[in-house]
Amino acid sequence: MSEIGPAEPWTVREIGPPDEDDGALLQGESIFALANGHVGLRGNLEEPHPGGMPGTFLNSLFEERDLTYPEEGYGFPERTQTIVNGPNGKRIALFVDGERFDLRTGEVRRHERVLDLRAGTLTREVEWVSPSGVQVSLRTERLVSFLRPSVAAIRYVVRAEAELRVESDLIVDEELPPPREDDPRASAVLDNPFAPVSHDDDVLVARTRRSGITVAAAVTHTGADGTVTSEPELIRWTSTGRGEIAFEKIIAYRWPASDDVLSDRDTAARDGFDVLAAEQRDYLDDFWAGADVEVDGDPDIQQAVRFGLFHVLQAGAQAGPHPVPAKGLTGNGYDGHTLWDTETYVLRVLTYTHPGCVGPALRWRHCTLDQARDRARELGLGGAAFPWRTISGPECSGYWPAGTAALHVNADIADAVLRYHAATGDDEFMREAGHEILNETAKLWKSVAYFDDEGTAHIAGVTGPDEYTALMDDNIYTNLMAQRNLRAAELDDEALRLADSLSIPYAEGRQVHEQAAGFTRLPEWNFTDDDYPLMMGHHYLNLYRKQVVKQADLVLAMMVRGDAFTDQEKRRNFAYYEARTVRDSSLSAPVQAVLAAELGHLTLAHDYLAESALLDLRGGGESGGDGLHIAACAGAWIALVMGFGGLRDHDGELSFGPRLPPGLHRLAFRLHWRGAALKVTVTRDRVTYEADGDVTLRHEGKEVRVRAGEQLTFAVDPVDDVPAPPSPRPPRSHA
């Protein structure tokens, strides 16, 4: 049985062969996935394994399927989009004296896989004794090139004193295991989504049957002699030898299909694996120079934050413009859709760590603007209504109370535009895309909001980030984000009056803000039920009627619009909603960590940080076949940098209020800000700012200027570790 080894600062190591029965096989495939935002390879073993979930995911390669409803309704989406498993070039079968290499037979003396976060490679080493007693040594290396977006490569070396045969395949339409029927996050599995178009010994071309997307996959092998056979859905290279077979396998993809796939493949094959690996290392050296987070005192968190950043980069790197799916390209969860997580979590991190990813991702949203306008008209609204779930632009969510009604996605996209421009000064992007996104989303709020007789503006019947509280009036998060959107757009005085007049519900009797109007008057939930997630055992009719919070909502509003709340309001609000939040979403813990840190609940913040950062890395196989939680990967950075680093970015102004929990001795992080690289180092008693260009920021509310090449150091006042307020589901202590 495999396990993830002790925390290492720059690698993730799996020791032992994965056991499909305990979920380790599927979880390992997600953890060890490699991607470049364009092509994604799940971390499958090279040899076929019936318990695995083969996954070669090509960004925006999808099939369409019909949505059916027990009762039809106007404006319900008629079809949805599902990511498909593209042509698989990872599969390599090995035979030793005629016996198939299979970890479930013979004796496994050593099995280790290592994900190198600086090299961007996955290495596997195996020592195996066949059932007939032959000792076999196998080493593989794999990468998906950041600099050559269509290219993936494998280096394969097998040694044994025996007759060896390798069958290396490029195959279309591998059968996927059925989804878990009890989990709404699971993807649909489409039966035979591809129709063959053409094939030869170099290239397979196929077309999705309904969406009509053509994909070309080319493969070649160098370093060893072999023979090639092909058929419409398979190219197989076979090599035989005694003692050793060593080769490099290069795969390239193009969709829509084009002859460029051959030049991509041939150029990569001519350069060879070593050149590709050197390019990969150079790319990542540059990334880490501007993005790394150093954590002293908690090796698990140190490993996890780098693991998270690596996967955020793999999800967001752009050959696009492309969407950034909720699972990246590590699995087919959520059908491969992008959601609001992208702008609120993933692009937030990339804006400061690798802003070159963010402009193209937002340009992709701009490319879908006409579809968003059409959707707004269909809903009887003005401006643009971006979808809750999509791959190419249309709304793909059939559950409208937590989909279409979650209009905040439009303000989330607008907020990402404002954040990106503030951090980069990319005026060209604003001229070509940003201003139009801001204006069209602001028009939506103008059409949906209304004034009451007292002149207060309201937004009625919407769902905020908390999916256990649907179709409410004046969700504070939605109203505050719409307010920011309206103020930033270039519309008219009416838009500004509307922004200034939006209702911010407050319960005078309880002295707290209401997540939405009337929330504090709802019946309380009976928290004796600890069968989480609640949505799997309770009907939404019951959840919607009670004071139970799936994920941070008002607390998220206090993080992203902290300028709208006083310190005392934040303290009372946090305690009230902490007692009602069950975190049935991975989006919650990092946000709770940030507010807990701000309010002095430092140990609690550390525990929430650990919950988010370690969810996939040491999460026991939860939803491993679906892929990683990319927003939770981003959440590790958010909890550390915004929580303990105190980063805030209200109104385009960078500010910090750092403090460390008892378990951490030092925190250092790097940011990109308006063309400069800024490094912030926090210890128990001081914080130091240094940059390679002039940076103006606020430290504890006071404006300071960090000049290029200089250091500014300030004393950090000690912060008492305030006891955590009551919670129905406190995080496990990360002692």
Residue 406 tokens, joined: 């979650």
Report the alpha-carbon distance of residue 194 to residue 109 in Å, rounded.
40
Active-site amino acid positions: 467
478 burial level (CB within 10 Å; 0-12, 13-18, 19+): buried
Question: Is residue 501 a contact partner of residue 455, using CB atoms and an 8 Å limit?
Answer: yes
The C-alpha atoms of residue 248 and residue 154 are separated, in whole angstroms, by: 6
Per-residue tokens: 622: 């939860």
Q: Which of 618, 615, 673, 616 is nearest to 641 (CA)?
A: 673
What are phi and psi for residue 89, nearest 5 degrees?
-105, 10
Pairing mode of beta strands 107-116, 121-129: antiparallel
Beta carbons within 8 Å of 270's beta carbon, 6+ residues apart: none
Contact between 42 and 29 under an 8 Å Cβ cutoff? The reply is: yes
Instruction: State both tokens at 409.
Output: 């996605």
Rounded distance, CA 556 to CA 563, Å? 12
Phi, psi (deg, nearest 5) at residue 492? -150, 180
Q: Give the span between the Cα atoms of 709 and 201, in whole angstroms.
A: 57
- Residue 381, both tokens: 């609204």
Q: How many CB atoms lie within 10 A of CB 145?
A: 23
Q: Residue 90: CA atoms inside 13 Å, Cβ hemisphere, count?
A: 30
Question: Taking a C-beta distance cutoff of 8 angstroms, is the pair 680, 668 a contact?
Answer: yes
- Collect all residues with Cβ–Cβ distance below 8 Å to 73 and sequence separation of at least 6: none
d(CA 597, CA 590): 11
Reduced to 3 states, what is the DSSP secondary structure of residue 92? strand
Q: With H, G, I as helix, E, B as strand and everything else as coil, classify residue 323.
A: coil
Rounded distance between C-alpha atoms, residue 724 and residue 730, angstroms: 9
> Do the Cβ atoms of 502 and 516 come closer than 8 Å?
no
Give just the sign of the alpha carbon dihedral 191, 197, 201, 203.
negative
Distance CA 548, CA 268 (A): 54
Structure tokens given for 336? 């491969």
Tokens (6 digits) for 707: 């000049």
Terminal Cα distance for the chain, rounded: 26
User: Residue holding tokens 């939404």?
Assistant: 540
Surface-to-core class of residue 508, CB atoms within 10 Å of its CB (0-12 exposed, 13-18 middle, 19+ buried): exposed
Helices 602-613 and 630-637 pack at an angle, to 10 degrees, of 140
338 token code pair: 């992008």
Q: Which residues contact 530 (CB under 8 A, 6 or more apart)?
A: 729
Cis peptide before 193 (omega within 30 of 0): no
A 10 A CB-CB count for 735 gives 9
Q: What is the DSSP letter of 345?
A: I
